[in-house]
Amino acid sequence: MKTIKAISIRRAVADLCVKASIVLRPDVLAALKRALAREQNKRARHLLQVIIDNAACARAKSLAICQDTGMPVVFLEVGSNVKISGDLKLAVNRGVEDGYRSGCLRDSIVRDPLLRGKPGYAPAVIHIDIVPGSNLEISVLPKGFGSENKSQLKMFKPTVGIEEIKKFIIEAVRSAGPDACPPYIIGVGIGGTADYACLLAKKALLRKLTANGERRTADDPSAALGASKRLTAKLERELLRAINNLNIGPMGLGGKTTALAVHIETYPTHIAGLPVALNISCHALRSASIIL
């Protein structure tokens, strides 16, 4: 049994909040550069360059990439051989407060969704999973609400064709239009229950962006099946192509760079249903992880 102290978790979360908000993920930066190399629309090229310059500026000046430093979403994968000494959720939320304060990030969280009130830094939305092993993996994804507001969920009939699902995803991106800071990264969750599809869509944003859209080996049972993996990979490619033909482009001012990636995560579902959830990220897709 490995023991991890709450204070270590608090410190790690604080560091991750700062890192995620200030240093753009290398895979996202690389995807932006690939998009710039491909893009032919003059204004889109200029705007992609501004976005890349902004990432460099943020890093050089230790400034948040975007002023919307989001609602922090924290994923914890706790190894079953790990013992946490202290209050885990409290440690995470204290870590968020420490990190947001020291990084001069934004206090965007209102204590009550209806009463609102003066905003603060915490709490985070925390997802805890127990996994085999002796490690604790922490991922912090600060999610801006310009893009979070464009999330969608649809409970399809189980007999629906794939074309209908594609149409739903493409229309969701079209309706987000210029508002959510394109070029986007589209997270899609298919299967499970309504809530689980939404979680999968969010988790899809943690996946590394790759040049050829190659999927990492997913750990869910459905993706372990060859046919399912091939189908989702094909869907990702087709959707990315269709989305990039919408001519939304960076800042919605045209061009073929509307999305940098489409990531689909799947899970088994019920005979009576087919939930599909969409979580859009702006071009400043921020996250950072550590294994304790």
Partner 1 sequence: MKKIYTPLSTQGLSKLKAGDEVLLSGIIYTARDQAHKRLCESIKKKKKLPFELSGAVIYYCGPTKTPKGLAIGSCGPTTSSRMDAFAPLLIKNGLKAMIGKGGCSQEVCAAIKKHKAIYFLAFAGCGALLSGCVKKATAFTYADLGPEAIVKLEVEDFPLIVGIDAKGNSVYRARAPK
Residues that bind partner 1 (CB under 8 A): 47, 50-51, 53-55, 57-58, 61-69, 101, 104-108, 116, 118-120, 146, 149, 174-175, 177-181, 247-248, 251-254, 282-284
∠ CA 190-248-195, rounded to 5° = 20
Helix (H, G, I), strand (E, B) or coil at 76: strand
Q: How far is the CB of 58 from partner 1 (least distance, A)?
A: 4
Output 136 or 181, the one with its CB closest to partner 1. Answer: 181
Helices (H) and strands (E) in the chain, counts: 9, 10
Q: How far is the CB of 219 from partner 1 (least distance, A)?
A: 31
Q: How many CB atoms lie within 10 A of CB 129?
A: 9
Q: What are phi and psi of 40, to 5 degrees?
A: -115, -20
How far is Cα 284 from Cα 59, in angstroms, rounded to an integer? 13
Q: How far is the CB of 21 from partner 1 (least distance, A)?
A: 9
Q: How far is the CB of 229 from partner 1 (least distance, A)?
A: 32
Output 108 or 139, the one with its CB closest to partner 1. Answer: 108
Output 250 or 275, the one with its CB closest to partner 1. Answer: 250
Output 30 or 63, the one with its CB closest to partner 1. Answer: 63
Output 25 or 223, the one with its CB closest to partner 1. Answer: 25
How far is Cα 279 from Cα 107, in angstroms, rounded to an integer? 22
Q: How far is the CB of 239 from partner 1 (least distance, A)?
A: 17
Q: How far, CA to CA in Å, does 17 sit from each of 14, 79, 105?
A: 5, 22, 9
Q: Distance between the two ends of the chain, CA-based, in angstroms?
A: 14
How far is Cα 45 from Cα 196, in angstroms, rounded to an integer? 37
Q: How far is the CB of 184 from partner 1 (least distance, A)?
A: 11
Output 46 or 215, the one with its CB closest to partner 1. Answer: 46
